Amino acid sequence: MSKINCMVCERCGGDLKIFKEASAQGVKCAECGWSVVTTHIEDIKLDEVEYSVSCVGDYKSEAHVRVVSDVVGCNFLASRKKLQSGSFLVFVGQAEEVLRVRNALISVGLECSISPDFKWV
């Protein structure tokens, strides 16, 4: 027996299209607009662990200093001093923000470490 992959609308018999938008997912009829929707929250948004992000970079690199300034929220000179000190704490927060910070840091070539183990990479 073969599995039928075609879904049809219970109202009009039209084709149902699968959709996922933000935190909602479901099926919607292309003909009449009938739909069934449910909540879908990504696992990363449910992760309540507090993570710490540390980084190491080149204090002579303008890109490194700028991204540290953006993440930490301090001026250029303070960021340069932090980079001169070696590995330092850049950010503490939950998974979604940590992923954003990590991506910003590595996009300019900074080395970063996240504690505890970060499974969202």
Q: What is the pLDDT of residue 72?
A: 95
Cβ contact 32:26 at 8 Å: no
In this predicted model, what pLDDT tens digit does every residue of 44-101 receive, in sequence order? 999 999 999 999 999 999 999 999 999 999 999 999 999 999 999 999 999 999 999 9
Start and end residues for every CATH 3.30.1390.10 domain found in the chain: 45-115
In the CATH scheme, what is the code of domain 45-115?
3.30.1390.10
- Which whole number is the average pLDDT over 21-48? 93
Task: Tell me how far apart the alpha carbons of residues 5 and 101 are, in angstroms, rounded to a whole number.
Answer: 41
Q: What is the pLDDT of residue 90?
A: 97
Which amino acid belongs to residue 7?
M
DSSP-derived 3-state class of residue 26: strand
Please state, rounded to an integer, the average pLDDT across all residues of the chain.
92
Biggest alpha carbon–alpha carbon distance for the chain = 69
Instruction: State the Cα angle at 62 between 57 and 67, rounded to 5°.
Output: 65
